[in-house]
């Protein structure tokens, strides 16, 4: 995407990928996004590094992806408060946003929804089939096999959002803003093979989830 500045200045916009990991940076998942995305990408680690790069890059961003994290949206850490302010600025500027796992919960929590434990604080992981319906991200209703790893989830949609995917295990698998380009997915549609391996997913199992996740990721890129 090309953005015209004042006079003859032309600047190239980029996709901002925010990795709020508190333990293990998801570099391979970021690299996978870079390989698939038609736009330049920037990578930001608000917990392990600092928030400055995010704030500097916002005005040059054509889209934002917030990845997963072992953090909870209820932690109210300093970096989460700063990230929340950035989120509202991005929304005010109509920058497309995709939240994944923690990012999905972060969107819901900050925009008026509710996040809570789903299974009495038990963490579950594996592959599950989700059914996407009435989503503005894809044209048809489809099922996708995707990797998951979490203990909390969105239990109440924010105002101006609707549920756009569900599964037998989780009622609110995805949220979709009614008029803006904002989406959240609880499952890891961006998952790299190294991420899958760390969560006990075999190579054969990963192939199906990779195909389905890529379909959804590319649909987001098409909306930028």
Considering Cα of 97, then 100, then 104, then 105, what sign does the dihedral take? negative
Pairwise CA distance, residues 224 & 218, whole Å: 10
Active site residues: 101, 188, 190
Query: What Cα–Cα distance (Å) separates residue 15 from each residue in 91, 136, 191?
Result: 15, 20, 17
Whether 82 contacts 50, CB under 8 Å: no
φ/ψ of 170, rounded to 5, equals -135, 125
């Amino acid at each position: 995407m090309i953005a015209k500045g004042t006079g003859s200045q032309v600047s190239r916009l980029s996709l901002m990928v925010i990795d709020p990991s508190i333990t293990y940076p998801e570099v391979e998942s970021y690299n996978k996004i870079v390989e698939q995305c038609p736009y330049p990408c920037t990578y930001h680690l608000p917990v392990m590094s600092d928030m400055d790069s995010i704030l500097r890059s916002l005005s040059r961003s054509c889209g934002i992806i917030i990845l997963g994290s072992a953090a909870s949206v209820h932690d109210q850490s300093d970096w989460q408060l700063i990230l929340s302010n950035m989120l509202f600025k991005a929304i005010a500027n109509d920058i497309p946003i995709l939240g994944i796992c923690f990012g999905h919960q972060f969107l819901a929590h900050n925009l008026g929804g509710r996040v809570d434990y789903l299974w009495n604080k038990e963490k579950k992981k594996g592959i599950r089939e989700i059914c996407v319906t009435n989503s503005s991200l894809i044209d048809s209703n489809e099922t996708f096999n995707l990797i998951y790893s979490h203990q909390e989830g969105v239990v109440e949609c924010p105002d101006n959002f609707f549920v756009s995917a569900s599964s037998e295990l989780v009622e609110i698998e995805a949220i979709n803003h009614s008029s803006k380009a904002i989406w959240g997915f609880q499952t890891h549609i961006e998952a790299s093979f190294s991420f899958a391996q760390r969560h006990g997913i075999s190579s054969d199992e990963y192939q199906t989830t990779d195909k389905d996740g890529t379909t959804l990721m590319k649909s987001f890129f098409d909306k930028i």
